[in-house]
Amino acid sequence: MSESGRRVLIGRIVGLYGVQGWLKIESWAEPRMKIFDYQPWLLSTESGAETQIAGAKGRQQGKGMVAQLPGIDDREQAAALIGMDIHVAREQLPPPGKDEYYWVDLEGLEVVTTEDVPLGRVSHLFATGANDVVVVRDGARERLIPFIQGSYVRSVDVSAKRMVVDWDPEF
């Protein structure tokens, strides 16, 4: 995909639409239709199988979205793609705004407390109803830190690969 190989999960194929190979998709792009601007897509399964697709087209359909992929023109071919994740190269996405970050840019950052005590590295993030959560791992230990800038997350320096948090190292 790209030189650095960093990818961003931007959507998922969730169902079938009609009999001519159209698919129902979820898009996490903002706005949702922007997913079609970021191509090629790398479709991947949980088992690790990957397929690169360029030229996907789509539209709003009711409250959801549907897509037509090149070379997929019947329901049987489309059914084989249900459940696949849609990734794009990180470089295809616009730069984040001030104090905004793509999760993929935070993964691997060194995390230290405001007193410079090392806590580990960002493994991944996940969303909750209230806020996003940073999962920090140091060997076998795992810490879940709310990604609330100003409260728990004091600074993020992506270029220096470092995040400073206000967090008790014993917790």
Residue pLDDT, tens place only, 74-85: 999 999 999 999
- Contacts of residues 118-125 at CB distance under 8 Å and 24 or more positions apart, as own/partner, are 119/143, 119/165, 119/167, 119/169, 122/163
Closest CA to 9 of 65, 86, 107, 83: 86
Average pLDDT over the chain, rounded to whole? 92
The alpha carbon of residue 88 and the mean position of all alpha carbons in its chain are separated, in whole angstroms, by 9
Whole-number pLDDT of residue 30: 85
pLDDT tens sequence across 41-53: 999 988 888 999 9
- Considering the entire predicted model, what is its pTM? 0.76
Q: How confident is the model at residue 129 (pLDDT cuts 50, 70, 90)?
A: confident
Class of domain 7-91: mainly beta
Whole-number pLDDT of residue 4: 54
Domain boundaries of the chain, sorted by first residue: 7-91, 103-165
Average pLDDT over residues 97-117: 93
Class of domain 103-165: mainly beta
pLDDT tens sequence across 3-32: 457 889 999 999 999 999 999 999 998 899
153 within 8 A of 134, measured Cβ to Cβ: yes
Average pLDDT over residues 147-170: 95
Whole-number pLDDT of residue 1: 41
Tell whether omega for the bond before 31 is within 30 degrees of 0, i.e. cis: yes
* pLDDT surpassing 90 at residue 111: yes
Q: How confident is the model at residue 98 (pLDDT cuts 50, 70, 90)?
A: confident
Whole-number pLDDT of residue 45: 85
Closest CA to 119 of 101, 139, 98, 90: 139
* pLDDT surpassing 90 at residue 99: no
